[in-house]
Structure 1
């Protein structure tokens, strides 16, 4: 009853990170962080969600790209009872939605930011995409060693939108940690609201363990001037709490962990049946192309399936056949 009568406060992402304990963040997963999945994780204690990385140049010049890359609803943000860091009273807060862009040209980044900013709660600049095509286009991880260019990108967006509008950056750590320190400090001086730090270098695969000491170094480099979100290897509530403790970060971001278990921040060891059922309903209501719908469910159900069950599930070729199969296993969608 308490949730039904108290309207949630609308708070910017960086203020949420500064003010409250245990802030959980969903990563901007290319292809996967579409509206149905973002709405799903908001039902399971994810307070800040991200739109998948989008090329600012395409978004700013193409109406078709804007329609295909971004959809939202008021309901996707969720509402949460959160506890203040000073152990003050719990407050009811609306979740935040952040758009992530990849950009190299300051004007183009500002153009894209101006188009999207009325519809989201913040804008993030990707400085960490490690793919070769991104590096060759001088976006993503190419910018990690270009702090002055990062400064120009951030300032262009801040100048266009006003200095109170949240612009953040997501980075990877550098093998030479002094470069990470310079990048963090340059971004702060340019006006970023917060920084997300992935604890791997651009050359490290996801199979390498994340470096929590490197994230802690970035937290210390920020000197408390802006909040830091730690990213990498959050597969369970226990691991998320360990990351908070070791790094001192104000938030923890999960990517692959949430794909496998969208309810991990709510303490579930594997995807609960309720999350599968919610996802099917949301995908039906919002609309989701079958290959992506099928792939999400395969990730969520992988820990439940035997090898033969995985082969059977992978052979299903339509929304209806997937729903029928899940109903035969006891899931309920009515």
Structure 2
């Protein structure tokens, strides 16, 4: 999610059974060269990773596992990719290379979905990270499917040869809007391609149109993937993976608490709340009124008067550079 998965939102979803969270796409070159970019693009805190129960298949019991934070990088230069990764490594559990962003500015810059037909460059980007962070440090890629699945296969095989840890597959091409259907057959094809390697299978994660826990379960079964990723669905319902049909108001309160006095810029804060409350607004007029609010104070007044929500005790958010 470009811009939207800042630390406040990541911590919220991790408290509702989201096991792996991703930062917004961080531009590797700018992050490497600019202290201002580092201050702006990445912050974390000691408690943003949640804990969840993982079933031990062989032992038939569960154990507590801490969630993971992955920093997603955008770029096309192995040197800057590696340098940005090295700066981030002490604070994250893995690095992801964005090979799927369909936005026109990203494509023109030669990043995101512009990498889908450049498997050798993707290989070099993976190697650039591993050269600075070590072979064992998790490095993944996020891709979109290609109109010609032979290109998807080539990209997956090349990334596997570079020893990526997992591959996230969005089931649309770079030309398709989010209103168009996801190709589950194409995701399944990609997942099957990732199983054929002398070094063993590479886990795949499906992405696209995950709006409910039932969507997640159905997609996993249809595509034969190891996990699922949600973006727009989680924006509207951060409690999606806990099985809630909409986020409980206690979750909204938690979000405003996490956001209070942390420097979370108002437009993002406001947009997140508008998305979360979309299933609470009684009509279009109420939504329109909420969207017209122009300050944190007026938003907090609305939440208190309408839902009896006020911020709770604060927890700190840390910038790390």
Q: What range is the shorter-chain TM-score in? A: over 0.9
How far apart in 2 are the matches of 1:88 and 1:152?
A: 42
Say if 1:182 and 1:86 are closer, same or farther in 2 by CA, change over 3 A.
Answer: farther
Match of 2:179 in 1: 207
- Mark the CA change 1:316 to 1:170 in structure 2 (over 3 Å): closer, same or farther: same
Stretches (4+) displaced over 2 A:
84-89, 330-334
User: Counterpart in 1 of 2:191?
Assistant: 219
1:236 aligned residue: 212
2:237 is matched with which residue? 261
The CA deviation at 1:86 is: 4.5
Query: Of 268, 284, 287, which residue of structure 2 is paired with 1:307?
Result: 284
> Distance in 2 between the 1:84 and 1:57 partners?
41
Find the partner of 1:322 among 278, 299, 302. Answer: 299
Match of 2:316 in 1: none
Equivalent residue, structure 2, for 1:116: 88
Deviation digits for residues 73-116 of structure 1 (CA, Å, limit 9, x no counterpart): 12000111111344632111111000000111111111111111
1:56 aligns with 2:28: yes
Is 1:176 paired with 2:148? yes
- Which of 254, 260, 279 is the matching residue for 1:278? 254
Q: 2:318: which partner in 1?
A: none
Q: What is the CA distance between 1:228 and its match in structure 2?
A: 0.5
User: Helix, strand or coil: the match of 2:172?
Assistant: coil
Aligned twin of 2:40: 68
Which deviates more from structure 2 when the two are superposed, residues 199-208 or residues 215-224?
215-224
CA RMSD of aligned residues (A): 1.2
Provide the rounded CA distance (Å) in 2 between the counterparts of 1:36 and 1:285.
Answer: 11
How far apart, in 2, do the equivalents of 1:88 and 1:164 lie? 29
Checking the alignment, whether the CA contact within 8 Å between 1:44 and 1:262 is kept in structure 2 is yes
> Distance between the aligned counterparts of 2:60 and 2:131, measured in 1?
35
> Which stretch has the larger CA shift, 166-175 or 265-274?
265-274
* 85-94 vs 259-268, greater mean Cα deviation: 85-94
Which residue is equivalent to 1:296? Answer: 272
TM-score by length of 2: 0.93
The alpha carbon displacement at 1:297 in A equals 0.5
CA-to-partner distance for each residue in 1:212-265, whole Å, 9 max, x for gaps? 111111110011621111000000011111001101111110000001111111
SS in 2 for 1:52: coil
Distance 2:148 2:234 in 1: 30
Quote the Cα distance in structure 1 between the aligned partners of 2:59 and 2:170: 29
Which ranges in structure 1 are unaligned for 5 or more consecutive residues? Answer: 1-28
Aligned length: 306
| TM-score, with structure 1 as normaliser | 0.89
Q: Is the 8 A contact 1:31 1:52 kept in 2?
A: yes
